[in-house]
Amino acid sequence: MGRPVRLAVILAFALGGTAPAVAQVGYDPHGSPYRDVAKGHTITAIGGYLSGDGGRFGIAPQTGPFGGIRYEIRNSQTIAFALQVIYGDFDRLIVDPFVTPANQVSGPVKQSVTFTEASLQFNLTGGKTWHRLAPFFSTTIGLAFPSNTPQDTSGFELGHKVTLAPGVGFRLFLTQAIHLRAEARGMFWKLNYPASFTREPIEDPGTPGDSHAVIKDGNVSEWDTSGWFQAGLGFAFSP
C-alpha cells in the first residue's frame, strides 16, 4: 500500500470518528421550546366583556357581555390578518335635557351593538410558539351598528361608529389544530351629543350665571375609551 493510499485511509477513519461528535453540536430540535405554527385558517368562538363609563354622561354603551366569531388566516408569519363579528347587549344611562337637573339621569337601560372588525396581529414569536405560547400585539379597526333606544328622547344617537382598538394577548396551543386565545384591548370611539344638551331645560331654565343645561361649555363631542376583554377557543383547518 503506497503512502498516498495510507493517508487517504487514515483520513477517512478520522472523519468517520468525528462525525457523531459533530452531530451533537447545537440544540437538540426535539428539546427546543419553539414549535412551528402550522399554516391554514382558524375559526374561533369568542366571548368577552366590555367595561367602560359611557362617556362623560354615561349614555354610550358602558358594560356588558358579548360573543361572536373570529376568522383568521394563520400564515406562520409575524403578521396575521383576521375578521371578527361581535354582538353584545350593554348597559347605558339616559339623560333627559328637558327636565330639571335633579331628574335628568335615569337608567340603566339595555342597548345592543353589533361590531364588524378587521384586525392585524403582530406575533412576537413569529411563526413559532414558545412552550406552546404565542404572545402578540394587535391593532383593530371596526364599525359599530347599534340598536335603537326608544327610551331616549333627547336626540342622542350612537350611530354607526368607527372603532379603534389596540390590544395585547396570547394564544396557547393545546394541539396544532386547537388553541386558546385571550386578548385585552382599549377601544376608542367618538361620541357626538345633540344640540338639546346645550339648551336650558324647559322645566327649569337656568340663568346666564347658573346654566342648567347638560353641556355648559359648548363641547358636544368627545373620544371615549372602554376596556375590551375577550377569550375564545380556536380550531384550525386547511383550505
CATH label of the domain that carries residue 176: 2.40.160.20
Determine the structural domain holding residue 70 and report its residue range. Answer: 36-237
- Number of structural domains (the chain) is 1
User: Residue 2: what pLDDT?
Assistant: 54
Is 62 a member of any domain? yes
* The three grid cell numbers given for residue 78, joined into one nine-digit string: 409575524
User: pLDDT digit string (tens) for 57-76?
Assistant: 999 999 999 999 999 998 76
* The three grid cell numbers given for residue 176, joined into one nine-digit string: 396544532
Region 8-16: what's the mean pLDDT? Answer: 42
Q: Worst-scoring range by mean pLDDT, 20-29, 203-212, 220-229?
A: 20-29
Is 21 a member of any domain? no
Nearest Cα neighbor of 121 from 167, 68, 173, 86 is 167
User: pLDDT digit string (tens) for 100-159?
Assistant: 999 999 999 999 999 999 999 999 998 888 899 999 999 999 999 999 999 999 999 999
Is 127 a member of any domain? yes
User: Residue 238: what pLDDT?
Assistant: 82
User: Residue 153: what pLDDT?
Assistant: 93
Q: Which amino acid is at 14?
A: A
Is 1 a member of any domain? no
Is 24 a member of any domain? no
Is 139 a member of any domain? yes
Is 14 a member of any domain? no
Q: What is the 3-state secondary structure (H, E, C) of the chain?
A: CCHHHHHHHHHHHHHHHHHHHHHCCCCCHHHCCEEECCCEEEEEEEEEEEEECCCCCCCCCCEEEEEEEEEEEECCCCEEEEEEEEEEEEEEEEECCCCCHHHCEEEEEEEEEEEEEEEEEEECCCCEEECCEEEEEEEEEEEEEECCCCCCCCCCCCCCEEEEEEEEEEEEECCCCEEEEEEEEEEEEEEECCHHHHCCCCCCCCECCECCCCCCCCCCEEEEEEEEEEEEEEEEECC
What contacts 30, CB < 8 A, 6 or more positions away?
Answer: none
User: pLDDT digit string (tens) for 200-219?
Assistant: 999 999 998 899 999 999 99
Q: How many residues does the chain have?
A: 239
Q: Which amino acid is at 209?
A: G
User: Residue 9: what pLDDT?
Assistant: 43
Cα distances from 14 to residues 2, 10, 146, in angstroms, run 19, 6, 77
Is 3 a member of any domain? no
Whether the model clears a pTM of 0.85, i.e. scores above it, the answer is: no
